[in-house]
């Protein structure tokens, strides 16, 4: 199993709740996801990111397919790229 985690720092004035809603919409639209969690930061420190996405996939092939999935690319990535100042990610075996 692979866990894919992305932390997003949003542009000034963008809604973390809207980003959460868009990310969670993958639950019923991206078939290779085995699990999904999305969180919104509550601390708001200087080093905090605004939103975190964590998804679980079967293997690296599923991760590659996820990265090319039409809903993920055309809806989710499109929105997140428009509202995100910066992001960091990590992919690891669980």
Residue pLDDT, tens place only, 52-85: 999 999 999 999 999 999 999 999 999 999 999 9
pLDDT of residue 58: 98
Q: What is the DSSP string of 42-74?
A: SS--TT--SEEEEEEESSHHHHHHHHH-HHIII
Q: How many domains does the chain have?
A: 1
Query: Cα(9)–Cα(86) distance, rounded to whole angstroms?
Result: 5
CB 45 within 8 Å of CB 10: no
What would the pLDDT profile of 7-40 be if each residue is shown by its tens digit?
A: 999 999 999 999 999 999 999 999 999 999 999 9
Task: Report if residue 64 sits inside a domain.
Answer: no
Confidence at 45, pLDDT banded by 50, 70, 90 = very high
Overall pTM > 0.85? yes
Task: Report if residue 78 sits inside a domain.
Answer: no
Task: Report if residue 69 sits inside a domain.
Answer: no
Task: Report if residue 27 sits inside a domain.
Answer: yes
Query: Domain range for residue 19?
Result: 9-52+83-94
Task: Report if residue 74 sits inside a domain.
Answer: no
Please work out, in degrees rounded to the nearest 5, the angle formed at the alpha carbon of residue 75 by the alpha carbons of 90 and 68: 55
Task: Report if residue 65 sits inside a domain.
Answer: no
Which region, left, alpha or beta, applies to residue 13 given φ > 0 means left and ψ of -120 to 50 means alpha? Answer: left
């Amino acid at each position: 199993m692979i866990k894919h985690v992305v932390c997003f720092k949003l542009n000034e004035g963008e809604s973390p709740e809207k980003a959460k809603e868009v990310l969670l919409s993958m639950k019923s639209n991206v078939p290779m996801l085995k699990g999904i969690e999305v969180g919104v930061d509550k601390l708001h420190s200087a080093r905090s990111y605004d939103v975190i996405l964590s998804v679980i996939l079967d293997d690296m092939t599923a991760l590659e397919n996820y990265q090319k999935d039409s809903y993920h690319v055309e809806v989710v990535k499109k929105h997140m790229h428009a509202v995100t100042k910066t992001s960091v990610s990590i992919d690891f075996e669980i």
